[in-house]
Every structure is written in C-alpha cells, then in structure tokens.
Chains A and B, each alone.
Chain A
Amino acid sequence: DAGITQSPRYKITETGRQVTLMCHQTWSHSYMFWYRQDLGHGLRLIYYSAAADITDKGEVPDGYVVSRSKTENFPLTLESATRSQTSVYFCASSDPTGATLSGANVLTFGAGSRLTVL
C-alpha cells in the first residue's frame, strides 16, 4: 500500500529496555522526520533526515538514535527507555522538490505509535 506506515501502533515496555519504532514510506520522499507529541508541549522534533545516510538532531534528541540506510525507512531507537519517553511518536516525510503528488514541502504523517514506559 502506498503511504507512510508506522509500527508498532502501540507498545508497552519497561524502564531500561531498548525499543525501536519503525517508519516506512513508499513515495521516495527525501526528507523524513520523527516527532513526539505530549500534552502541554505539542509536537516536538526529535530527529530528521534529508536523505539516506544523512541525519540530524532536532529539538529533543537526547535518549534517541536514528539511522537511514535506505530512503524508505527511518527507524527510531530508544536505547534505554525512560518514563519521560512515554509519548505518541509520529513519523513524517516530505519532498522539497514538488515532484511527488503530495506537493512540495507538504509533510505527510503516519498514524502514530503510542509508547508507554512503565
């Protein structure tokens, strides 16, 4: 199916465990992003990637690791989960060139991954 998919949609884990959230997009968008959404803070950027093998920190990167070996995948790893990382995580992608149907610079979001750290 075309689009951007996140997995898992729901995850419960314990403090100290490693967790990986997956993101896959089928449009060949060059840019991909990870945001977290928390009450009182809105959406905050964790990491982003301009292309395969190029990643950069956003506003709240501490405690997270990303990689982008292929254009279509952008996994987010919590190396040692903490309670403060309980949140809803959204992956997004965009195409700055306007060559794809979504339009230049329009971010398209996945459905989100709800993570609870006990």
Chain B
Amino acid sequence: KQEVTQIPAALSVPEGENLVLNCSFTDSAIYNLQWFRQDPGKGLTSLLLIQSSQREQTSGRLNASLDKSSGRSTLYIAASQPGDSATYLCAVMEYGNKLVFGAGTILRVKS
C-alpha cells in the first residue's frame, strides 16, 4: 500500500526566506506527483504536476523536483510572501488516476 509522508508537518518562516517542503513515498510505481495548495476552509488548488519521467517542474517562484528511484520530491518556494501561507499537500498518482495524499505541511510566512 502506497504511503506518502510530508516533512515538516508545520513550518513558520519570516517573509523573504527561501524554503523547502519535503515529500516521500514508499512505492515508486507512480504515474506522476502533484503538489496542491489548500487555504483554510477551501478546496485544493493544483500547483505543479511532475510526470514520472520528469525531474522537475517550475511555475513562478515554485520549483518541484522528483527523484522517483528514491521516492522523494521537494517543493522549493523562493522569496516567500505572507500570501504563501497555506497547507501544501503532496500526492502521487497510481493506476486508475487515483491520488494518494500526504498529510500536508502547514506553512506560515510572517510579515
């Protein structure tokens, strides 16, 4: 059974810092890995999708990497802003288009 772990569970940083969120998964037989953002009381917003054959994806200040063989992904956020405060969820896609989620990292960026 696939298990996805995210570290740290919570993170508080001052504005402007660069930061890294970590995600690990136990079964490397994945189709892709996706990072989502969730604001309090809201749904999930897709940030980045990395195909299993890719090593990284970038969108603005966000960069996600994937090392499928070691079962690890990182989400790098450059020059963090208070508006980045949210819960960040990592999920891997298995057969059947199903996503298995980690528990998330709660990020707080202090102004």
Contact = CB atoms under 8 A, between A and B. Distances in A.
Interface residues of B, number: 22
Nearest to B102: A42
A43 B92 CA distance: 12
A103 interface: yes
A71 to B, nearest CB: 15
Interface in B70-111: 89, 91, 93, 96-104
Main secondary structure, interface of A, reads strand
A106 interface: yes
B43 A111 contact: yes
Contacts of B104: 42
Give the interface size class of chain A: 20 to 34
Given A90-B44, A112-B43, A105 B49 contact: yes
B46 interface: yes
A26 to B, nearest CB: 16
Nearest to B1: A59
B98 to A, nearest CB: 6
Contacts of A42: 89, 101-104
Contacts of A110: 43
Contacts of B34: 106-107
B36 to A, nearest CB: 8
Nearest to B2: A59
A50 interface: yes
Given A43-B89, A45-B99, A48-B97, A111 B42 contact: yes
Interface in A90-107: 90, 92, 94, 96, 103, 105-107
B103 to A, nearest CB: 4
17 contacts: A31-B97, A33-B98, A40-B103, A41-B103, A42-B103, A42-B104, A43-B89, A43-B91, A45-B98, A45-B99, A50-B97, A90-B44, A105-B49, A106-B46, A106-B49, A107-B34, A112-B43
Given A105-B49, A107-B99, 8 more contacts: A35-B101, A40-B103, A42-B89, A43-B89, A43-B91, A43-B99, A105-B97, A108-B46
